[in-house]
Amino acid sequence: MIQATLAIIKPDATKRNIVGQILRRAEDQDLAVVAIKRLHLTKKQAAGFYSVHRNKSFFDDLTDFMSEGPIVVVVLRGEGSIRKWRDLMGATDPVKASPGTIRALFGESIERNSTHGSDSPESACFEIGYFFSGLDLVK
């Protein structure tokens, strides 16, 4: 099924100028960039995005991290894009991520793990809508 997912290049990765290297991995697997922008979130905006995690112990640190510098938010469209992008990223903790995955290659820690990807069609819908309007998605 052709679907869309939200990917984020996190502040640890934008700082190291590896946006292109990361997005190339998506394009190489037939995921198309149909919307993209760079922005610097406030802590409140980061908290709104990650509201499902608001009761977790790591929430305060996570929202500090996600607002410490620029991010690049991207809508990736293609066959099974939600699963495919998460497979390309690898496990949340770079130490546990399979060799060759984005987080294994570039992640600095379980928090500073370089990328985000939606985990379900419902979260993709919320997350894409958090950053983009329908008119921004150009197929």
Nearest to 33 by CA among 82, 74, 85: 74
Angle at 65 between CA 45 and CA 38, to 5 degrees: 60
- Given 22, 75, 116, 132, the catalytic residue: 116
The one segment of 14-22, 40-48, 94-102, 105-113 that binds ligand UDP by CB under 6 A = 105-113
40 or 138: whose CB is closer to ligand UDP?
40
Instruction: Say which residues have a Cβ less than 8 Å from residue 125's Cβ, sequence separation at least 6.
Output: none
Closest distance between ligand UDP and the C-beta of residue 133, in Å? 24
Closest distance between ligand UDP and the C-beta of residue 106, in Å? 13
Position 108 contacts ligand UDP (CB under 6 A) = no
Put the strands of the sheet holding 115-117 in their side by side order.
32-39, 71-79, 2-9, 115-117
Q: Which residues bind ligand UDP (CB under 6 A)?
A: 53, 58, 62, 92, 110-111, 113, 116, 119
